[in-house]
Chain A
Amino acid sequence: MSTVELHDIRKSYGTVEVIKSVSLSIEKGEFISLLGPSGCGKTTLLRMIAGLETVSKGEITIGGRDATRLPPEKRNIAMVFQSYALLPHLSVLGNVLFPLEMRRIGTPASRREKAEAVLEMVGLAHLGTRYPRQLSGGQQQRVALARAVVCDPEVLLLDEPLSNLDAAMRERMQEELIELHRKTGLTTVFVTHDQEEALSMSDRVVLLNGGRIEQMATPSELYARPATSFAASFIGATNLVEGRAHAGVVELDGGARLRLPDGALNGGVSLSLRQEDLILSPPDIATGISGKVINRIYLGARMRYVVATSSGEIRVLADCDTGFDIGDRVCITIAPEKIVVLQGAALTG
């Protein structure tokens, strides 16, 4: 059963349409990410689900109830803000009690019990009497989460909650968020511009671009089978090349030939070659793209080579001991099943 249903949602400011017909159905208990570059409308969409932004056209149902025109306090939702928005004049416990008091859930004693249990769950039971300004970023984040889940909302909305944390803390909070989601089973909508966050945490990723859904898929599907060149270039690091397919082989615009996984393709195609799927070899291999190394960048675990080829610059992520130097001639190959044929382009060709 779906918990949140968006039907043909649109949002305009004056004549500018920032959300252009988005329909989305979120299942109960699902962890869904709204992913996209800044300005793609992901935060606007989240705020519309929260009721903080009016809907220009379309319908929103939450828990089977029409919520399109309901004010935020009448929707059974909870939201974690990018800035956490902890109430500075209330203690940690006071902050967690706040939604219970506002929604008049239970008796004062049962509220306290519940708030303390949730604080225990996020590991802050000992900090209940502290004030938000006395906490570290990670601790504030946990208070914000505790405060959001304490009411058992129909849907939990997270607006880039990890973006204010340093790298190490962010990684830990990612794991804690996944754990929290497993423990509570709450339907969760997570807004982020970070593709790694979206891929690692979600059951399903909604990739947004220019106020439209570009692709909606599971993380592995989105990574392996991006539907458009935007999806391919936004998820992971890739090279986009064009060519003509015939009898299981594609001839790239520069003349190089690659074997395709699918012999049925014919005509113009657009391909995505992931940097980590490409293999660098000495220049005497038959079916590959030949070129010259023009730059190499040490990345710690990997080395990124920039190779000038007849099909333009191609970037390759290789092991550090690959051992080519700037100026060396190389041949780039790829296993046919790793080649991603972008559907949009193949159909138009």
Chain B
Amino acid sequence: MVDAIPRWLRLATAAALVLIVAYLLVPLLVVVGVSFTAADYISFPPQGLSLRWYAKVLSSGDFTDAAMTSLVLAVAITVAASALGAGAAIVLHRRVLPGSAAIGGLFLAPLILPSIILALGLLMLWSRSFGATSLLTVFIGHLVLALPYVIRTTLAVLSTSDPFLAEAARTMGAGPWKTLWRVTLPQCLPGVAAGAFFAFNISFDEAVVSLFLRSPEITTLPIRIYTTLEYSPDPSIAAVSSLMIFLTVLLILLIDRAVGLQKVTE
């Protein structure tokens, strides 16, 4: 038996937990609070209750255009990262390639590399080899950032599931491709779904890589928020941010309904 945990340690743990939760949640509460203010300036607690800043955001072409750009980009990233990441994870998991461990480490490098260095490196490489930046360069940058998440979550699911499923399918008459399609991919699905969720979020609120790799006419939502904050700050930023928070919560609920959040976090 493990010794009983001393009382002071339990209290300290509880205190740390409260602080961490507060640190994570209070900023969100402030932002959402500010977004409902009736005042003309950013203030907390909000002065009066109003939806005027939501109205302003939704009627402003600047914000809706940027949101549309971000949304299209994020959806494209989600699809591409899921497909490539799942494929990479399956191959890495089977360890059929020599140096699978090294390749896996390389795929995960963007997780620890500061994104500003990645952005700068990609920009220099691209302008030297291919010329002007465009939406494609932003796409590539986001993809590099999003891939590790899909690979990680898919590998996690694969490593906890029955290693003999694919072999069992072969003995039941399924060829290699049918096994991939009917057994391995469904087996990966919870992991791919979790990774897809991360990929969408990373792309949707990514600012640094987008700033470096975009061309002047491309404005994503985070970039729009950033420039607004710098040049004409008003509570509409809080309203946009709140909308992004709501979208994330909505996605979490959808994923939970579709595949079950428990499976994803296992």
Contact = CB atoms under 8 A, between A and B. Distances in A.
Interface of A: 50-52, 71-73, 77-79, 81-83, 85-89, 98-99, 102-103, 147, 151, 157
B186 A99 contact: no
Interface string B160-180: 011011011111111100100
Contacts of B178: 102
A78 B171 contact: yes
A88 B187 contact: yes
Contact of B165 (A50, A85, A102): A85
B189 interface: yes
Contacts of A52: 167, 170-171
18 contacts: A50-B171, A51-B170, A51-B171, A52-B167, A71-B175, A72-B171, A73-B171, A79-B171, A81-B164, A83-B164, A85-B167, A87-B183, A88-B165, A102-B169, A102-B172, A102-B173, A102-B174, A151-B173
A85 B162 contact: yes
Contacts of B167: 52, 72, 81, 85
A191 B142 CA distance: 51
A87 B171 CA distance: 13
A74 to B, nearest CB: 9
Contacts of A86: 162
B173 A73 contact: yes
Contacts of B171: 50-52, 72-73, 77-79, 157
Contacts of B183: 87
Given A79-B168, A81-B168, A85-B164, A99 B187 contact: no
A83 B174 CA distance: 19
Helix, strand, loop or mixed for chain A's interface?
loop
B169 A87 contact: yes
Nearest to B171: A79
Nearest to A47: B167
A153 B168 CA distance: 14
Contact of A98 (B161, B164, B172, B187): B172
Q: How large is the interface on B (under 10, 10 to 19, 20 to 34, 35 or more residues)?
A: 10 to 19
Contacts of B172: 73, 78, 98-99, 102-103, 147, 151
A223 B186 CA distance: 48
Q: Indicate the member of B162, B170, B173 with the most A CB atoms within 10 Å.
A: B173
Contacts of A51: 170-171
A72 B170 contact: yes
A151 B162 CA distance: 23
Given A73-B174, A87-B168, A103-B172, 4 more contacts: A73-B172, A85-B165, A88-B161, A151-B173
Contacts of B161: 88
Contacts of B168: 79, 81, 85, 87
Contacts of B182: 98, 102
Interface in B28-60: none
Contacts of A50: 171
Nearest to B190: A89
Contacts of A151: 172-173
B136 to A, nearest CB: 36
Nearest to A81: B164
Nearest to A89: B186
A83 B162 contact: yes
Interface in B128-172: 161-162, 164-165, 167-172
Nearest to B186: A89
Contacts of B162: 83, 85-86, 88
A78 B167 CA distance: 11
Contacts of A82: 164
Contacts of A99: 172-173
B166 to A, nearest CB: 9
A184 B161 CA distance: 32
A103 B183 CA distance: 15
Contacts of A81: 164, 167-168
Nearest to B164: A85
Nearest to A76: B173
Q: Indicate the member of B171, B174, B175 with the most A CB atoms within 10 Å.
A: B171
A87 B189 CA distance: 13
B160 to A, nearest CB: 11
Contacts of A78: 171-172
A77 B187 CA distance: 24
A78 B186 CA distance: 22
A106 B247 CA distance: 48
Contacts of B173: 73, 99, 102-103, 151
A312 to B, nearest CB: 43
4 nearest A-B pairs in the assembled complex, by CB-CB distance: A85-B168, A102-B173, A99-B172, A103-B173
A63 to B, nearest CB: 15
A89 to B, nearest CB: 4
A87 B175 contact: no
A86 B186 CA distance: 13
Nearest to A102: B173
Contacts of A77: 171
A50 B169 CA distance: 12
Contacts of A71: 170, 175
